[in-house]
Amino acid sequence: MKLLLLLTVVALAQGHVVRVPLEKTKSLRERLREQGLLESFLEQHPYNLAAKYFPGIAVEPLQNYMDDEYFGTISIGTPPQKFTVVFDTGSSNLWVPSVFCSSPGCRNHKRFNPEDSSTFLSTNDTLFIAYGTGSMTGVLGYDTVNVAGISISDQIFGLAETEPGDFFYYAPFDGILGLAFPSIASSGATPVFDNMMMENLVDRDIFSVYLSRDGQPGSFVLFGAIDPYYTTKGITWIPLSAETYWQITMDSVSVHGKQVACSSGCQAIVDTGTTLLTMPVRALRILLVSLGASFNGEISCQAVSKLPDVIFHINGKAFPVPPRAYVLRSEGSCSVGFEGMDAPTEEGELWILGDVFIREYYVIFNRADNKVGLSPLP
């Protein structure tokens, strides 16, 4: 039973054809999924069997927190100190709270103590990162970081000393692990996945993400491979327009067959660390009108069944986001999961394809060829 699951993953990663008598047996994943045991299995086997027998292929289970945040568990130091982190394709630094931090956002989370780690190396370098919803300052250090059973020696990371405001105070996670490019890493810190690649710790320079819907279990980041279960409808590969964020070019956005935004092309970031789907303010206003929503995004719950798909045209293909994905329900009211933000780039206006979009697709982040793959979910 173990071998069948491993052969499926390794066959994809290495391009080999492995004949398995599917008519007689199902994969471990399928059996666990049918019995409702997949999530508990992943929690009990955080380093997974594939990583044990085939180093370079590893799955990191993610907890779905109310469709708002997705986070997993890593460890830092010797002996390991565990932290929950958001695996964020919209940033590039790894950081966690430290014992040097007295901000409220640190005090109610786990804090890294360098004195408790025999492998920690300090630096005099400082760190500042500003996100759309919060910021942090701290110092940089080096230590052993373990992600999904992949151990990275001398990984540089941030030890937060301040976390202003209340965003991180209420956050259900401790820190952030950035998966974007080193070009946007604060203080020139080498991102975790870059070290995985440089140290040949992943079978392929690739990772892929599945985010579940409706608070359901099963979300994950897969390092070094692609899970064929989620690509049965094929993969559309989209070249990057910039090697900073995971940035791509969109052709247009349409509703009811008519272009409503991005008519001359625009830029988009595929960002697992952003909850909603973010767009320029003017585009948001037009889209709200076309959907019959109010200026603040509220919409009649009774009208949801009649709402159209919002179609994102990318690299010559259409990627629909249906109303079940973009309408958010809360305490009997409904609103659309869109928000406005003006962030122009040299290549055009910027959109952020956050979790509202990503939940509809299995997303493959390919560093070997600098492209993003999208596969419609079953």
Q: List the domain boundaries for the chain.
A: 2-225, 231-376
Residue 15: pLDDT above 50?
Answer: no
Is the pLDDT at 44 greater than 50, yes or no? yes
- Which of the two residues, 34 and 357, has the higher pLDDT score? 357
Structure tokens at 146: 């373990």
Cα separations in angstroms, 252 against 66, 312, 351: 30, 6, 11
Counting every residue, how long is the chain?
378
Angle at 76 between CA 70 and CA 78, to 5 degrees: 155
Q: Can you tell me the distance from the alpha carbon of 261 to that of 253, in angstroms, rounded to the nearest whole number?
A: 5
Q: How far apart are CA 377 and CA 374, in angstroms?
A: 9
pLDDT of residue 367: 98
Q: How far is CA 166 from CA 104, 106, 163, 177, 238, in A?
A: 8, 10, 8, 20, 37
Q: How many CB atoms lie within 10 A of CB 159?
A: 27
> What is the DSSP-derived secondary structure letter of residue 358?
H
pLDDT at 33 over 70: no
Q: Which of 88, 174, 205, 309 is catalytic?
A: 88
94-141 residue pLDDT tens: 999 999 999 999 999 999 999 999 999 999 999 999 987 889 999 999
Specify the CATH number of the domain 231-376.
2.40.70.10
pLDDT of residue 246: 98
Asked if 2-225 and 231-376 have one fold, the answer is yes
- The residue among 376, 30, 75 whose CA lies nearest residue 210 is 376
Q: Which residue reads 């052709």 in tokens?
A: 251
Helices (H), strands (E): how many in the chain?
A: 10, 26
* Residue 345 confidence (pLDDT): 74
E strand or H helix at 373: strand 371-376
> What is the pLDDT, as a whole number, of residue 12?
35
**Rounded to two decimals, what is the model's pTM?**
0.86
Catalytic residue list contains 342: no
* Confidence (pLDDT) at 349: 86
Radius of gyration, alpha carbons of the chain:
21
The proportion of the chain whose per-residue pLDDT surpasses 90, expressed as a percent, equals 79
Contacts of 355 (CB under 8 A, 6+ apart): 67, 68, 70, 211, 272, 274, 275, 276
2-225 placed in CATH 2.40.70.10: yes
What is the per-residue pLDDT for 36? 62
Single out the catalytic residue among 67, 203, 271, 355: 271
How is residue 112 annotated by DSSP? B
pLDDT in tens, 332-377: 899 999 999 998 777 778 999 999 999 999 999 999 999 999 999 9
Please indicate whether residue 88 is annotated as part of the active site: yes
Vertex 340, ends 334 and 342: CA angle to 5°? 175
DSSP sequence for 302-355: GGGGGPPPEEEEETTEEEEE-HHHHEEEETTEEEESEEE----BTTB-EEEE-H
User: In which band, very low, low, confident or very high, does the pLDDT at 53 lie, cut at 50, 70 and 90?
Assistant: very low
Q: Confidence class of residue 291 from pLDDT cuts 50, 70 and 90?
A: very high
Question: How confident is the prediction for the chain on average, in pLDDT?
Answer: 88
Q: What is the pLDDT of residues 250-290, one digit of tens each?
A: 999 999 999 999 999 999 999 999 999 999 999 999 999 99
